[in-house]
Chain A
């Protein structure tokens, strides 16, 4: 139902998430933000079990901030990803596992941009592009076909739009809007929401 996607460029990471919060067959909210700011240059995109997502993401967020207060500098994206993985793995074999799928995107001054894929079994993989949700089955092939490591920012956004178009065409659910953010050396930038043409959205007033 929920969809996350990340695309890494030469000096940036582009991420997007759908905006629907659903409860069984009802769309409760069309402007849900599924991205959590872990630090100035790290975003955590989190989907999965209702409640687990926010609880786990906020817990990680506050622990990353605590590290910053204690040590005077922020965790790198790689360290943050591994910290998250360890936490998820520890909870997995407890009585209270978190059922969440994550994408962690960040920019490190030394290592550059990084995109990390993590699933609910706490598998962690660094990848040039990744997606979560049923939508991933439809869009990974598009990313395979058109992704290049030297994509410019505009080309990456176009690639993202291609993926969203495909979802609009072939995915059974109506996903009317996607939040888009870009991380580069200057930090996290909000880009324009992608709203595929023809998708029915509460945001668009019906023509009378």
Chain B
């Protein structure tokens, strides 16, 4: 027996309110930022402070989809689990049928079409997540895509989703420099700096994952993140001193 009533219907002025409400849910989720460098792609997420008795290793917001693609999301974690699982199965299915790993665009398109289908199906509500999907195609080109609950996707050089996404995006627009994207460290630093704008108490609340070309995803340990944070703070201090001198 299938449902016979659509939940996502048009409003008189052409809005799909369920989709817009889903986007509100995304805005409540913790921030995620993505940066595409020339030889490395980076995803960073804001780690919400966990309760004292909770094991924080179980809160993973960055998920590998395949050896060459991984993603982060903002919004309803449970919804994300479903999308991630479907994407993982599709990555292997693609390899089975065409003997090649997925391109980042392909899997983004796949995820987006699932999301769109749920805005046009009986008895279903849209997924309450936006995702940032990064990786390398098999020809070595890096990509960063963003999807949202409506099922649209766009490619980005750097982007943020979730709470305070606007602030972070403005920071990225101001500080993204094409020349810096050659250096892996600069790309990672940009992502960390962007997140530091909005997370409280610094490096402890940041989770970072990077992927270099032809390598699998690497989730940075706390010490490595602290190194970047200290380097960034030092740079800030030096910049302040310079300003004071001149």
Contacts and interface: CB of A to CB of B under 8 A. Distances in A.
Interface of A: 58-59, 62-63, 65-66, 69-70, 72
A70 B88 contact: yes
B51 interface: no
A59 B93 CA distance: 9
Interface string B155-185: 0000000000000000000000000000000
> Which of A65, A66, A69, A72 is packed against the most chain B CB atoms within 10 Å?
A69
A62 B97 CA distance: 10
A63 B95 CA distance: 11
Given A69-B64, A69-B65, A69-B66, A62 B92 contact: yes
Nearest to A66: B92
A59 B91 CA distance: 13
B85 interface: yes
A68 B177 CA distance: 36
What's the dominant secondary structure at chain B's contact region? Answer: helix
Given A69-B64, A69-B66, A63 B92 contact: yes
Interface string B79-96: 000000100110111011
Nearest to B70: A69
Contacts of B96: 58-59, 62
Chain B's interface size range is: 10 to 19
Contacts of A72: 64
A62 to B, nearest CB: 4
Contacts of A63: 92
A65 B102 CA distance: 14
A70 B85 contact: yes
A143 B3 CA distance: 64
Contacts of A69: 64-66, 88, 91-92
A62 B93 contact: yes
A81 B64 CA distance: 25
Interface in B15-56: none
A187 to B, nearest CB: 15
A70 B64 CA distance: 8
Given A65-B92, A70-B88, 18 more contacts: A58-B96, A59-B96, A62-B92, A62-B93, A62-B95, A62-B96, A63-B92, A65-B95, A66-B88, A66-B89, A66-B92, A69-B64, A69-B65, A69-B88, A69-B91, A69-B92, A70-B85, A72-B64
Contacts of A65: 92, 95
A97 B108 CA distance: 35
Interface string B108-133: 00000000000000000000000000
A66 B66 CA distance: 8
A192 to B, nearest CB: 27
Nearest to A63: B92
